[in-house]
A and B are shown apart, each in its own frame.
Chain A
Amino acid sequence: MPNPEAVTKYIELAEKNSGVIHIEGDTVHIMVPSSKLVDVADAVFNKYNCSFRVCAGIDERPINGHFSLVHLFTDDKAGYYVAIKTYLSGDNPVAPSIVSVVPAADWCEMEARDLVGIEFTGREVYKLVLPLWWPSNLHPLRKDVPYNYRPELRIESEKIGSSSEYGVIPLGPYHPTLHEPEYFELYVEGERIVDVKYRGFHVHRGIEKLAESRMSYQQINFLAERICGICGFVHSTCYALAVEKAAKLDVPERAQFIRSIVLEVERIHSHLLWLGVAFHLLGYDAGFMHVWRARERVMWLAELLTGSRKTYGINLIGGVRRDINEDKKQKALEALRELYKDFKSLVEVALSVPQVKRRLTGTGVLPREDAIKLSVEGPTARASGINKDARRDLPYAAYKYASFRVPVYSEGDNLARALVRVDETFESMSIIEQLLDKLPSGPVLLSDFEIPEGRVGVQVVEAPRGGDIHYVVTGRGAPYRWRVRAPTYANIPALRVMLRDQPLADAPITIASIDPCFSCTDRVVVVRDGKVEKIKLIPVV
């Protein structure tokens, strides 16, 4: 539960910076003039050690004639969300960049520039989400842009970089290592990577615009689940929880238990999938096949509990639409016991294979300081010694009823990230058993409720890849603004640190070690110091 004493410092911070503060449940809203934004963000991030999650640009002109920019942090120790909001001119929205004090805000600022048209001062700007040919005065998330407006298409290829000093190895957009279209350009000296360029956002689907323009609150649950093929239930839960928080709905406890159980089933599935892919990338195909065989049991379990092997579609605002009866409960417990035995023996063998151990150990290291600066998420953060997990720090659904350990390793290498996932898989099995055992009786769905306009809900759900965040401003029949940020969005920038000076052969496993989900993320750019020609470099850490 949030610690009320912790808000004192935020009250003082708001007063000191001519801001206005109000606290609603577990969220501290601080409104500051744009001239004070950098100072406040600096204090929250660097002094109070909050995690930066994302920022969102909002076109509020139809309501109050202004644009606004919200920076979302979480105080993981105190259990609070901290939303720092500033209003900007409706005619010429310009905000000071906080990248100099919060490096992790790089992408979201550029996304707000592309999609909402907010300009940023005090930083280098570039196109992140939109293609290079996109008209410069067309910002799709502005309310006066129809959702179905299509600018005239102009095909412009981006050229592969060149270097007189180094070899250039293109990785993607279509490549056996990448299961989704993303583009890495690896600059190599012999077999060693000296520089990396990243270009993403090939499959930006505009789902925020679609939801705000064409869909109702309940329909968006199903759209949210389609953000990702692996952690879709995380997105739909996160969205539902954010709306429920904004509307102050008292969701039945049984529904919250079912959500947590299914979230953990999804986590086990995702981690097993990742382990299989990791073994495959390391040439250990026997591990790949056997882990995926074990994963099949998890998909059976998901089908038993939700009716679907994947994309479960059971979340609604107000609860869930599928219950778990006694028969399913017993079958699920039996399946978990089998899975535990199978997975334990598999992992013990797989992680002792010499080549697997050797190639995971000491490769793709992300030092703790860099992980903090970049506000990385999930196993990527926990493998670098950052002890954060939203299930424990910002409890939601029914996690407060379960006892579990948050695995943390300090090495920051590929092995540490693998071990975090292995440990978490065992913890997830334990959480499901506990929650099935304590499953309370009662309804699973609220029958009658209203969602008032103009409320704000922000929610982090710990996805298999890290904290997934949904920010909702309620509107009439649908969110006025819905901002989604998947964990991979926060983790990709760390790849430039992890890939530096690594052997080329370890690039695939290092990229895979953050368990990237590009379709969730879809976004952006570059890496490191000098020398490479025709590459735009952005100093980050």
Chain B
Amino acid sequence: MEPPLNYILIPLIALYATIPLLLDGFERKLKAALQSRIGPPVTQTVYDVLKLLLVKETKNQPTLPYVTLTLLSSMVMGLTALYYATLYIVNGDVIDMFYALAFLAVFTSTHTITPLLVPNPYSYIGGMREVMLAVVNEAAFITSISLYTITLQRILIGNTTWILVLVILVLALAAFISSYATSSRVPFDIAEAEPELASGVFIEFSGQILALNIYNLLLRRFAAKFLVLAPTVILISGHSLISLILALLLTPIIWTLYATIAVILGRSRVDIAPLTLAKIYIALFLISITGLLVFTHA
């Protein structure tokens, strides 16, 4: 680890832990503006989570301790993924990036299965919808960012050809689409927001567990964006602290972009969304793999 990073690592993790709450507050304000509303203050999500943390559970489900444990461990996984992504940006070791992706995969998976631990039909259906979407999207997320990172390394060592640039662009597109889908925003909020499930995955949660669940969702949104930006900023300013600052500055911009997209779209359906995503990913991966093969044999 580079000496400067030692000094800022703890404040940095604290920043990672806090910033999703503020960005969500900003998203709510932005959405309100786009919908001709005033909206809550930017700090509202912080207040919401703090208030929920002070409220006791209203239901005494026997499985709730497991849910709490799962949510806490997934939160730690999420922050660890961000830690390794930071190391990758500053130090440039590709292994760190793969650690980050592995931790993110575990984070997303544990968070996804949480509703299945609660005996409630809404939770089960909501949870299964999350799983359906995750099966397609998380695989694409990991694959696209892995390929994106590897291809980027080739460019960084000076192998810049138009085919490689095209492949990079296609993989970047796949990575951004999958990071959008993993953030569970419209049109992919098919489990959290579907009214027939009475908010599905959240239905049995209240108080501290609901706070943890909401927090994990926001952390997931932040981590998904940050991990896509990690290789991207290196392309601009190499492995350095400047890249880290750039990633931190670009994350809110991407967050804003995603929030704006979410405002102009409606919700998809569980039988449409995974299928549509699968078609898009297959097309993008076919193009990029073909490009990589052409580049290798050229």
- Are the C-beta atoms of B269 and A169 separated by less than 8 Å? no
Closest to A184 in B: B196
Write out the residue numbers on chain A whose beta carbons fall within 8 Å of the beta carbon of B36: 289-290, 293
Given A176-B195, A504-B196, A508-B196, the answer on whether A285 and B35 have CB atoms closer than 8 Å is yes
- Are the C-beta atoms of B187 and A286 separated by less than 8 Å? no
Q: What sequence of 0s and 1s flags, for each residue 270-298 of chain A, a beta carbon within 8 Å of any chain B beta carbon?
A: 00000000010111111101100100000
- Are the C-beta atoms of A177 and B125 separated by less than 8 Å? no
**A36 CB to nearest chain B CB (Å):** 47
The reply on B96 being an interface residue by CB < 8 A is no
The reply on A106 being an interface residue by CB < 8 A is no
Q: How far is the CA of A288 from the CA of B40 in the complex (A)?
A: 18
Q: What sequence of 0s and 1s flags, for each residue 36-65 of chain B, a beta carbon within 8 Å of any chain A beta carbon?
A: 110000000000000000000000000000
- Are the C-beta atoms of A191 and B270 separated by less than 8 Å? yes
Closest to B187 in A: A355
Interface core residue of B36, B121, B267 (most chain A CB under 10 Å): B267
Write out the residue numbers on chain A whose beta carbons fall within 8 Å of the beta carbon of B194: 505, 508
Write out the residue numbers on chain A whose beta carbons fall within 8 Å of the beta carbon of B193: 283
Write out the residue numbers on chain A whose beta carbons fall within 8 Å of the beta carbon of B34: 286
Write out the residue numbers on chain A whose beta carbons fall within 8 Å of the beta carbon of B272: 358
Q: How far is the CA of A503 from the CA of B272 in the complex (A)?
A: 11
Q: DSSP class of A's interface residues: helix, strand, loop or mixed?
A: helix
Given A175-B198, A176-B199, A506-B269, the answer on whether A169 and B35 have CB atoms closer than 8 Å is no
- Are the C-beta atoms of B263 and A355 separated by less than 8 Å? no
Given A286-B264, A353-B265, A355-B267, the answer on whether A504 and B125 have CB atoms closer than 8 Å is yes
**A368 CB to nearest chain B CB (Å):** 26
- Are the C-beta atoms of B35 and A503 separated by less than 8 Å? no
Number of inter-chain CB pairs below 8 Å: 85
- Are the C-beta atoms of B265 and A284 separated by less than 8 Å? yes
- Are the C-beta atoms of B264 and A283 separated by less than 8 Å? no
The reply on B189 being an interface residue by CB < 8 A is yes
For window 339-361 of A, CB contacts with B under 8 Å fall at 353-356, 358-359
Write out the residue numbers on chain A whose beta carbons fall within 8 Å of the beta carbon of B186: 283-285, 355
Write out the residue numbers on chain A whose beta carbons fall within 8 Å of the beta carbon of B26: none
- Are the C-beta atoms of B266 and A282 separated by less than 8 Å? yes
- Are the C-beta atoms of A168 and B121 separated by less than 8 Å? yes
Q: How far is the CA of A395 from the CA of B216 in the complex (A)?
A: 60
Q: How far is the CA of A186 from the CA of B198 in the complex (A)?
A: 14
The bracket for how many chain A residues form the interface is: 20 to 34
Write out the residue numbers on chain A whose beta carbons fall within 8 Å of the beta carbon of B198: 175-176
Q: How far is the CA of A359 from the CA of B190 in the complex (A)?
A: 13
The reply on B271 being an interface residue by CB < 8 A is yes
The reply on B268 being an interface residue by CB < 8 A is yes
Closest to A281 in B: B195
Q: How far is the CA of A403 from the CA of B37 in the complex (A)?
A: 38
Write out the residue numbers on chain B whose beta carbons fall within 8 Å of the beta carbon of A98: none
- Are the C-beta atoms of B266 and A505 separated by less than 8 Å? no
Given A176-B199, A504-B196, the answer on whether A289 and B266 have CB atoms closer than 8 Å is no
Q: How far is the CA of A356 from the CA of B187 in the complex (A)?
A: 10
For window 212-252 of B, CB contacts with A under 8 Å fall at none
Q: How far is the CA of A289 from the CA of B31 in the complex (A)?
A: 10
The reply on A517 being an interface residue by CB < 8 A is no
The reply on B205 being an interface residue by CB < 8 A is no
- Are the C-beta atoms of B195 and A354 separated by less than 8 Å? no
The reply on A454 being an interface residue by CB < 8 A is no
Given A169-B125, A355-B265, the answer on whether A290 and B187 have CB atoms closer than 8 Å is no
The reply on A507 being an interface residue by CB < 8 A is yes
- Are the C-beta atoms of B266 and A279 separated by less than 8 Å? yes
Closest to B268 in A: A355
Q: How far is the CA of A285 from the CA of B187 in the complex (A)?
A: 11
Given A167-B121, A168-B121, A290-B35, the answer on whether A283 and B266 have CB atoms closer than 8 Å is yes
Q: A293-B36, A355-B267, A359-B267 are in contact. List 8 more A-B contacts (CB 8 A).
A: A167-B125, A175-B195, A175-B198, A284-B267, A353-B264, A355-B186, A355-B268, A503-B269
List 5 A-B pairs, Cβ < 8 Å: A175-B195, A283-B266, A290-B35, A354-B265, A508-B194
A positions within 8 Å CB-CB of B: 167-169, 171, 175-177, 186, 188, 191, 279, 281-287, 289-290, 293, 353-356, 358-359, 503-508
Nearest 10 interchain pairs by C-beta: A283-B267, A355-B266, A284-B266, A289-B35, A177-B195, A356-B266, A282-B266, A505-B269, A286-B263, A283-B266
